[in-house]
Amino acid sequence: MQSERLNKYLALQLGVSRREADALISQGRVRINGEVARLGARFQSDDSLTFNNKPLGEATIKQYLAFHKPTGYVCSRRAQGDNPTVYSLLPKNLHTLKPVGRLDKDSSGLLLLTNDGDFAYQMTHPKFHKSKTYQVDLDRDLAPLHQQMISDFGVHLDDGTSKLLLERRSDTNRRQWTVQMSEGRNRQIRRTFASLGYEVAALHRIEFGSYQLGSLASGETLEITP
């Protein structure tokens, strides 16, 4: 009878990365046939598995979705004040999926959702350098000097230097930009422009890694292939 790695199975069941699954195993929260599991453990198909003393069911089917997030919604399970959650736009059968990274309430565009922890880890960990592309509208024209600072030298923020690749969306407009980045720090684009005295009026993600928003309508989902 073929055995399976416990951390891989746990990651799929709970929608976490294998590293997070290892942490749960180390905490003694996973049991095989009533015995506390150890790191590196494997199990057979007829073994009984529990997490927090609750049975783990059959392996779930991995799901990967692209979602066009509208502005005004938060990427969390619970609403924040008067701001509804993105899950209020999704059918209940998709509520087990977790966002891959986040878009803040005032941002829109491409949001990936999955129950595959490894996929989420590979898309969001800095070492994989997944590029993200946004359409950004500013409250006023971006000065050429500030464009050079952001693109060539980077801007110092509290959590390190922020360097973004900027491209004008129109030869006659210096408020509308395409911004590309490979990091994923909290509100990094907004903070970068704010440090130079600009306010981001609109932020819309159109690409994440090899995935594109395309013609997906606001509030709609599309199944994708990893």
Q: How far apart are CA 207 and CA 164, in angstroms?
A: 15
CB 128 within 8 A of CB 29: no
- The three-class DSSP label of residue 222 is strand
CB 117 within 8 A of CB 15: yes
Per the residue annotation, which of 47, 104, 106, 137 is the catalytic one? 104
Answer yes or no: 104 catalytic.
yes
| 127 sits in which H/E element | none
Q: Tell which residue, 27, 83, 71, has the closest CA to residue 16.
A: 27
Q: Quickly list H helices, the chain.
A: 6-14, 18-26, 117-124, 144-148, 188-194
Which residues are annotated as catalytic?
Answer: 104
